[in-house]
Amino acid sequence: MSYVEFKTTLQRHLEKCSGGATWSELRDTLKLPYDRPCPEWTRRLEKEIGLVRHKGDGRSLRWTLQSPSTPESHV
CATH of the domain at 21: 1.10.10
Q: How does pLDDT run across 17-31, given as a tens digit for each residue?
A: 888 999 999 999 999
Quote the DSSP letter at residue 21. Answer: B
pLDDT at 72: 54
In order, the DSSP letters of 62-74 are EEEEPPTTSPP--
- Identify whether the C-beta of residue 23 lies closer than 8 Å to the C-beta of residue 17: no
Domain ranges, residue 12: 3-65
Share of the chain above pLDDT 70, in %: 89
Quote the DSSP letter at residue 31. Answer: T
Q: How many residues does the chain have?
A: 75
Residue 75 counted as domain residue? no
Domain count, the chain: 1
| pTM score | 0.79
Residue 47 counted as domain residue? yes
56 φ, ψ (degrees, to nearest 5) = -110, -150
